[in-house]
Amino acid sequence: MSLTIDALASGQLAAWFARRPSFALMGEYSAGKSALLNALLGQSLLPTRVTATDLPAVWITHGDTLRLQGLTFAGALLDLEIADLTRDRAMDFLCIRVECNAALLAKVDIIDTPGISDPRMTTVIVEEMLKYVDFVVWCSPINQAWRQTERAFWNRVPQATRAPSLLALTRADTMRSQADVAKVLRRCKLDTADSFAAVLPVSALQAKTALPATPAAEREALRHASGLADLQDALAASILVAATRCAERRKTLLLTAPASAPPPAPARKKAVKAPKQSQSDPAASVTRIVQDFARRLRDMDPAQTSRKDLNDQFHQVKTALRSSARLDADHLSVLTLALKGPEDATWDAARLVTQVHDDLKDFAAGPWCTIGD
Ligand SMILES: Nc1nc2c(ncn2[C@@H]2O[C@H](COP(=O)(O)OP(=O)(O)O)[C@@H](O)[C@H]2O)c(=O)[nH]1
Ligand SMILES: [Mg+2]
């Protein structure tokens, strides 16, 4: 495979990153990254294996139905089937994009990566993906935790990425006793010297034994005993940091967008009115609010739209969303931030209309919205 990454391919990765918060699972080959990913998603999405890694980066994002695409090093995006993941063909790609449905994906995109010192020299891919993540869940097997190669790699990661990152000490079930787990945990906390937001032991194997058929109480007990519950709590805090950063970078992109940015769908001039129902009915569905807002944005003529007009629109949709009982509080705060509206005089109305329309589509697609009532 060619390891030269074309600007077109990097541009595609940057575009995905611009729209969603994201984190990557990173670490040595066979550290348990894919197994942990499956535990976090609550489904066996990616193959876990004992032999050499043969998947490139896998970028997982929310979608109602399973869809796979491969991004080549030259920047082409090709449709794939799930069987392609277990064929040699997968390594022809820089990144495989997977759309699937899992609760965690409503909040964040997840990138699974090949090992940092992999026999196939996939380090190039790992280094590239590092540019498109808000933080990392570094996986290190607890029985050989935090080796020199891992430290060397981690020292090169930018501080902003490291701060909300987590160190997962994987395969915790292989330790003889809880005292041994505690010993490694103490040593790793000292060795990593505050360069992670948290260091947590976890067993993806133990978490996996909580099958859907397992009684709820037993499943919950396993989630705690495996360390998955604590990891999920720490993740929630890091995801909020990521979501806030994502909202900020969308704004930066808008404000620095070139004047030649592609225009939105054909605009028609029309008087802009707030939907009566979404303002007066506190139980109005998020879907309807979002659809109304997107329609109004589409109907606005960017050339004729003043900043005040747009701010009025933001204000209306925020009021409508706040009064909806169906939106998760985390998402509401992130969405509110994203919809703060431009304060700078150099904003590009055409791009803003397209961007907000896309953002709302993303939010509407999340499981926190009750689509279609
Ligand atoms: N005992 C145990 N084995 C695990 C655990 N997680 C992963 N493994 C095994 O470690 C091997 C590598 O796991 P994988 O997730 O593919 O590693 P990756 O290369 O980092 O993605 C596989 O054989 C897994 O079954 C765990 O929590 N406990
Ligand atoms: Mg893997």
Kindly report, residue by residue over 165-217, the tens digit of the pLDDT.
999 999 999 999 999 999 999 999 999 988 999 999 999 998 887 666 778 88
How far the first Cα of the chain sits from its last, in Å, is 48
pLDDT in tens, 146-168: 999 999 999 999 999 999 999 99
Q: Give the start-to-end residue ranges of the domains of the chain.
A: 7-248, 265-365
CA of 123 to the centre of ligand 2 (A): 14
pLDDT in tens, 30-73: 899 999 999 999 888 877 765 545 788 999 999 888 999 999 99
Examine the pLDDT at 301 and tell me if it is beyond 90: no
- Helices 228-256, 33-41: crossing angle, 10 deg rounding: 90
pLDDT the model gives residue 196: 97
SS3 64: coil
Poorest-pLDDT segment among 2-11, 51-60, 165-174, 305-314: 305-314
pLDDT the model gives residue 263: 41
Residue closest by Cα to atom 1 of ligand 1 = 171
Examine the pLDDT at 270 and tell me if it is beyond 60: no
Q: What superfamily does domain 7-248 belong to in CATH?
A: P-loop containing nucleotide triphosphate hydrolases (3.40.50.300)
For the entire predicted model, the pTM comes to 0.74
The rounded Cα 42 to chain-centroid distance in angstroms is: 16
Q: Residue 368's pLDDT band (boundaries 50, 70, 90)?
A: very low
Examine the pLDDT at 268 and tell me if it is beyond 50: no
In ligand 1, the atom with minimum distance to the C-alpha of 38 is 15
Q: Residue 28's pLDDT band (boundaries 50, 70, 90)?
A: very high
CA of 48 to the centre of ligand 1 (A): 6
* Residue 154 or 89, more confident: 154
Q: At a CB cut-off of 8 Å and minimum separation 6, what does 24 contact?
A: 57, 110, 111, 112, 113, 129, 130, 133, 136, 137
**In which region does residue 371 sit, left (phi positive, over 0), alpha (psi from -120 to 50) or beta (all else)?**
beta
CA of 182 to the centre of ligand 2 (A): 26
**What are the strands of the beta sheet with 93-100, ordered from one edge?**
77-80, 67-72, 93-100, 57-62, 109-112, 22-27, 135-141, 166-170, 198-201
